A and B are shown apart, each in its own frame.
Chain A
Amino acid sequence: MKKSSILLLCFVLGFSACKKEEEIGEENELITTIKLNFKNGNEVKSFSYKDLDGDGGMAPVIDKISLAVNTTYDLSIEFLDESKSPVVNITEEVSGESDEHLVLFSPSSTSLGTYTYSDKDVNLLPVGLKGKYSTKSAAAGMLKVQLRHQPPINGKNSKDGTSIPGSDDINIDFALEVK
C-alpha cells in the first residue's frame, strides 16, 4: 500500500511538471524601423532606417541625414515594428523602462555637432528619447545611433549613465551632412 502510494505520488508529480510552454510563450519582437525627427521651429525633418524583412534577406534602407549649419534642433527618436499591422510602436516600451535603456548619438567627428540629453529616468540618469542636436559649420560624416539595453544584473541596476554596461539593441550608422 505504502509503495503504491509512493508510485502514485511520483506520477502526480511527474505529470504536473510536464507543461512548460505556457510559461514562456513564443513572442518575438522585432524593431524594423527607426525614425529620427529633427525639429526647428515649425520645420520637422525626419530620417529613417528601415529593414522590413528583419535580419538578413534584403539589405536595410538608410536615409541620409541633412541638417542646416549653426542650428539647434529638438531631436526625438521613434522605434517601430512595421512588419506587423497595425504598426507596433516600441518607443513607449522603451520609455516605460527608461531606467534600463540609454540612447546614444555619436557623430564621427566633433565638427558634425553635439548632442545634449533633455530627458531623465527615475534615477536621474539620461535616457535620450528626447534631446537637442546643435550643428556648427558645414561638414560631412557619420552619426552613430545606439540603443543600449542595460537591464539589472542579479537585482542590481547596471545602468550608470555611460555606454559601457549592457548590449546593443540598436546600432546604426547614418550618413550625416551639415550644410
Chain B
Amino acid sequence: MVTWPKFSRFFDQNILKASNKILFEAFFITFAIMLQKGISNLFSITILILILSNLTFGQTLNCTCFVKGKIIDRQSGEVVVGALVEISAQKKATFTNKNGEYLIENVCEGKYEMNIRILGYDSQKLEVNLEHENTHDFNLNESEIHLDGINISAKRIENISGNEKQLSSEQLNKLTGQNLATILTSISGISIIQTGSSIGKPVIHGMHSNRILTINNGIRHEAQQWGNEHAPEIDPFLAKQITIIKGAKSVRYGPEAIGGVIVIEPNELKHLDKIQTEINQFFMSNGLQNGVSGIVESCFHKIRGLDWRVQASTKKGGNTSTPLYNLANTGSQEFNFSLGAKYSRKKTDLNLFFSQFNSKIGIFSGAHIGNTTDLALAIGREKPLDVYTPETFSYKINKPYQDIQHSLFKLKLNQLLSNNQNLQITFGQQYNFRAEVDALRGDRNTAQVFKINTNTLEVLFNHKPIIKRISGNIGLNGLYQYNISTGSINVPQKSNVLIPNYTNFTIGAFWIERYVKGDFELEAGMRFDKRFLDVYYLKRLQNQISNEYFGNQNLTNTFSISRIFKNRVKLGYNFATAWKPPVVNEMFSDGVHHGSASYEVGDVNLKTEKAIENSIVLNFSDKFYQFEVLGYFNYLRNYVFLAPTGNSVLTIRGAFPEFKYTQTNARFVGFDISNTISKFQKFTVSNQLSLLWADDLTRNQPLIFIPANKSETVINYKFNKSWLSEISLNHRFVAKQNRTPQSQIFDNSNSETALKLIGGDYLAAPESYNLFDLSVSKNYKFKSLSTINIILECKNVLNTQYRDYLNRFRYFTDDIGRNFSLRTNINF
C-alpha cells in the first residue's frame, strides 16, 4: 500500500531536520496500520474519526460523483506520496498513492471544500463544485522546518503525561483584544488574578507568579514576577499557538516551574513564494477599546533560504464601565512589534528574533489607597465615590499608572548532525523596564522603577535513537540576571527601595529519555541546578553597602508513563519534583505596598520550596463523545506565602497592617474534568469543570487567595451553507470561595489595626456568579486562498453585576459589565 523507501527519503529531505526519526516512524507505521485495519494512534485520532465516519456514513442516493487528481511538490516538481485528501463535509478522505494520485469516489453532487494535508507541506484548501467528474491537481509548498526541536519536545510532553492543553490560532483569533491571562482562562484548571480589567496574571491549579514559567518564543520569560499586579509582558497578537502544561515541568525548564508552564509560539517561518499578510483588528464597546495587528512575511528571492516576518500591533482603550457606573482612569495603551528572520541551508537553521512590548496602564483612581483608614472607608462604600465614576468618557491616562517595556532578542542555531542527531543552541537577551508612577505634588512622581536584564543560553543535544525505540536529549542552561533599582548594581544609592539591586547566576543540566513501543510510552528525566544570588543594598540611615550571598542547589526528576487501550482509552501517570529558591522580594521586601495598603516584610531566612507532584489523566474518546479527567495531588514543602501578622506599622501616612512572608507545608488537590459531545463536527456541547482544594497543612486550614471552583459550558453550532458560519453560547459559573482561612497565621498580634481582618483578608469572599457570552462568526474564503473571518461577540450578555474573589479591585468596585466586540481576521 505504501512504498517505504520513498517515504524515508522524503523524510530525510524535508522533515527530519530535528532528528527523532523514531517518532515519525512510529507515526507512519501506525498510519499504515491504520489504513489497513482502521486502527488509530494518538496523532491521528481526528483522522481516524474522519475515516470511521467515512465507513459508517457512506452512501446516499445519487452520489456517484468522483474527484481525482495528482499532487506535486511545487519546489522540486516531484510527486507527493501519502498526502491526505479530504472532503470533510462529505466525510470522505484518501491518501495519494506512489504516483501522487488520488481518487475519491461516491461523492454527492454539490459544492465542497477540499483539504490536502501532509507533514512537511503547507496544507491547501480548494472549493470544488462537483457535478460528475472533476480533476484537480495540486502543487504543494514545502514548509521546510515543519517541526523543529521545540515543537518536538512539546509534542512529546503531550503524548506522555496528557496534562497539556493547546490553544490553536483559530481559537486565539476568537479571543483577540483580551489580555494574555484572560485568553488562557478558556482552558480548564486555569484562572486569573486581576487588578482591574486590564491587568491579569494566569493561575494554574491555584499557583501563580514565581511558580509559573512562561516560555516566550523558546526563551524563558524573565520579568518582575513578584506583584499580583504585574501581568506578563507579551503581545497576545504575536502568539499563534499557546500550550499550557499543567503541573511541574522543572526537569525541562528549570526552577520555578512548579505550577506549570505556558509556552507561547509564533508560527514557524516558512518558504513563501509571495508576500503573505495577516491583519487582525478588534473593537470593544466597553472602554471603546480598539486595536490592530499586522503580520507580513515572505522570503528574500535573492538569498535562497532566507525568510522573514515583520509584525506590529497597537491597542488603545479608555475608561471601562461596570453595569452601573464608569471607572475613572482605567484606560490602557499598547504598542508592540517584532521582527523575525530565518536562514536555512542544508543542515543548518539560523533564527533571529527581536520583539518589544510597550504598555501604559491606568490604575483605577478609586483604588488608589493612602492608608488603612482610606481602605476601610473605600471598602465600606456600596459604590465608589462620584468623582471616581465620571459620566464622561475619556481615553486619558492619569497618575497612578504603570509604564512597562519588555524587549527580547533571540538567536537560535539548529544544526542537524550525522545519524539524525541534532544540536540546538539558543541565546536570549531580555530587558524589562517597569515604573509604577503615583500621584504626588507638582510634576514630581513617586515612581518605583525596576530594571531587569537577563541573558539566557541553552544548549540542547538530541541523541540518535537507540534500538529505534529510545530517544532523548541532554541540555545545559545558563542564566545571568541583574536588577538595578537604584544607583548601579553593586553601588546602591537609596535604602527605601522595594526590591534591592541583585545579580543572579543560575546553571542547570538535564537529561531526558523516552521509550515508545506501540501504545505504551515511558519517559524519565533528571536535572541539577545551582543558583548564585548576590544582593546589594543599603540599610536604613547607613552609607555602608551591605552585600549578601545566597547559594542554592537542587536535584529534580520526572517520570511519566502512559498507555492507550483499544484506541479509545488513554491512561497516563505523571510524577515530578520541582523547586523554587526564595526570590528576592520574598527575602528583602520592607515597605508599604502602594495600592494594597499593606506593609510588607521579607524574611532572609526562608528555605527553598520543594514540590512533589502526582497526576493521573484518563481520556476516553469516541465518535461523538470525549471525556477527560485530570486529577492532581501536589505536596509543597516550605511553601512561601504572604500573611498578616496582626500588628500594624506606624508611618507618616497612618497605620498599615503588617504582612510577612512565611512558610508552611501545603497540599493542592484538584480535578480538571472535561466532557465534549459533538455530532458531525457541526454541533458541539462541551463542559469544563475545575475543582481545587488547597490547604495549609501546618495550621490545618485552607490557603488564602485560591481560585474558586468553576464550570464553563460552550454550545457551538457550525453552519454549512448559510449567511452565518458559526454561533456559540458560553456559560461560566464561578462558585463562592467558601474555603478561606479563619485563624491568624502569626499569633503575636498585639495591636488593633483600623481594619478588621477576616482571616487575613479585608473582605469576605464575594458571592458566586453566572456569566453568559454569545458570539456569531462568518468566514469568507476566496479562490486565491485569501480568507476573511468576522466575529461579533457579546460578553456578559445579561449585564450581571459581580465581583470575583481573585480580582484585587473587588474591595472597591464591581467587575466590568456588558461588552460588545467585533473582530476581523484577514489573510491574503
| CB <8 Å contact, A20 and B405 | yes
Q: Is the CB of B654 within 8 A of A171?
A: yes
> Which residues in B have their C-beta under 8 angstroms from that of A164?
385
Interchain nearest-CB distance for A15 vs B (Å): 9
* A3 to B373 Cα, complex, angstroms: 59
| A170/B652 contact (C-beta < 8 A), A27-B444, A155-B394, A156-B387 known | yes
A18 touches B398 (CB 8 A): no
Contacts of A26 in B (CB 8 A): 447, 449, 486
Given the contacts A24-B449, A154-B396, A167 and B374 also touching, CB distance less than 8 Å: yes
**Which residues of the other chain, A, contact B300 by a CB distance below 8 angstroms?**
3
Complex CA gap A156/B399 in Å reads 13
- Nearest A residue to B600 by beta-carbon distance? A56
Is A119's beta carbon under 8 Å from chain B?
no
Q: Which residue on A lies nearest to B591, using beta carbons?
A: A55
Among A3, A11, A17, contact of B308 (Cβ-Cβ < 8 Å): A3
Residue pair B496, A167 in contact (C-beta under 8 Å): no
Contact of A20 among B337, B433, B495 (CB under 8 A): B433
CA distance A11 to B355 in the complex (A): 10
A34→B368 CA distance, assembly (Å) = 23
Contact between B388 and A153, CB atoms less than 8 A apart: yes
B358 at the A interface (CB under 8 A): yes
* Closest Cβ–Cβ distance, residue A103 to chain B (whole Å): 13
Most buried by A among B392, B396, B435: B435
What 0/1 readout, one digit per residue, does chain A (1-34) give for beta carbons within 8 Å of chain B? 0010011001101100110110111111111101
Whether B652 contacts A31 by the Cβ 8 Å rule is yes
Contacts of B365 in A (CB 8 A): 153-154
Q: Which A-chain residue is minimally distant from B433 (CB atoms)?
A: A20
> Closest Cβ of chain A: how far from B309's Cβ, in Å?
10
**B335 an interface residue at 8 Å Cβ cutoff?**
yes
Does B310 lie within 8 Å of A171, measured CB to CB? no
Contacts of B328 in A (CB 8 A): 153-154
B370 touches A21 (CB 8 A): no
A48 to chain B, nearest CB (A): 12
Chain B residues with CB below 8 A from A177, complex form: none
Give Cα A101 to B370, complex, Å: 14
Q: Using a CB-CB cutoff of 8 Å, which residues 419-441 of chain B contact chain A?
A: 433, 435, 437, 439-441
Picked from B296, B441, B494, the residue with its CB within 8 Å of the CB of A28 is B494
Contact of A167 among B368, B407, B494, B652 (CB under 8 A): B368
Asked if A169 is an interface residue, CB under 8 A from chain B, the answer is: yes
Interface residues on A, range: 35 or more
B408 CB to nearest chain A CB (Å) = 12
A59 part of interface (Cβ distance < 8 Å): yes
Chain A residue numbers with a CB within 8 Å of B486 are 26
Residue B653, interface by CB 8 Å: yes
Query: Given A97-B441, A97-B442, A169 and B370 touching (CB < 8 A)?
Result: yes
Q: Is the CB of B329 within 8 A of A154?
A: yes
A1 to chain B, nearest CB (A): 10
B394 touches A154 (CB 8 A): yes
**Residues of A96-122 whose CB lies within 8 A of B:** 96-97, 101
Contact with A along B294-310 (1 / 0, CB 8 A): 00101010000000101
A74 interface hit (Cβ, 8 Å): no
The smallest beta-carbon distance between A91 and chain B, in angstroms, is 11
- Is B757 an interface position by the 8 A CB rule? no
Would you call A93 an interface residue if the criterion is a C-beta within 8 Å of the partner chain's C-beta atoms? yes
- A96–B296 alpha-carbon span in the complex (Å): 52
Please, which residue of chain B has its CB at the minimum distance from the CB of A27? B444
> In chain A, what residue has the closest Cβ to B494?
A28
Residues of chain A within 8 A of B590, CB atoms compared: 56
Q: Which of A6, A90, A149, A172 interacts with B654 by CB under 8 Å? A: A172
Asked if A18 and B445 sit within 8 Å, CB to CB, the answer is no
| Neighbouring B residues of A27 by C-beta, 8 Å | 444-447
Cross-chain contact A149 with B439 (CB below 8 angstroms): yes
Residues of B with C-beta under 8 A to A172: 652, 654
A49 contacts B652, C-beta separation under 8 Å: yes
Write the A80-99 contact mask toward B (1 if CB under 8 angstroms, else 0): 00010000001001101100
Q: Which residues of A contact B396 (CB under 8 A)?
A: 154-155
Query: In the complex, A50→B590 CA distance in Å?
Result: 19
* Contact across chains for A54 and B540 when beta carbons are under 8 A apart: yes
Known: A34-B652, A153-B398. A56 touches B339 (CB 8 A): no
User: By the criterion CB–CB under 8 Å, are A14 and B310 in contact?
Assistant: no
CB closest residue in chain A, given B539: A57
A175 within 8 A of B: no
Cβ of B296: which chain A residues have Cβ within 8 Å of it?
Answer: 6
Contacts A20-B433, A24-B437, A154-B394 known; 6 new A-B pairs at CB < 8 A: A7-B339, A14-B339, A26-B449, A55-B496, A156-B387, A171-B370
Interface residues of A (CB under 8 A from B): 3, 6-7, 10-11, 13-14, 17-18, 20-21, 23-32, 34, 49, 51-60, 83, 90, 93-94, 96-97, 101, 149, 151-156, 158, 160, 164-172
For the complex of A and B, list the 5 residue pairs with the smallest distance between their C-beta atoms, beginning with the closest: A167-B370, A171-B654, A168-B370, A53-B540, A55-B651
Chosen A-B contacts, 26 in total, with CB atoms closer than 8 Å, are A3-B308, A6-B296, A7-B310, A7-B339, A13-B312, A14-B337, A21-B433, A27-B444, A27-B446, A29-B441, A51-B651, A55-B592, A55-B652, A57-B540, A60-B650, A60-B652, A101-B441, A149-B440, A151-B398, A153-B365, A153-B388, A155-B398, A160-B387, A167-B368, A171-B371, A171-B373
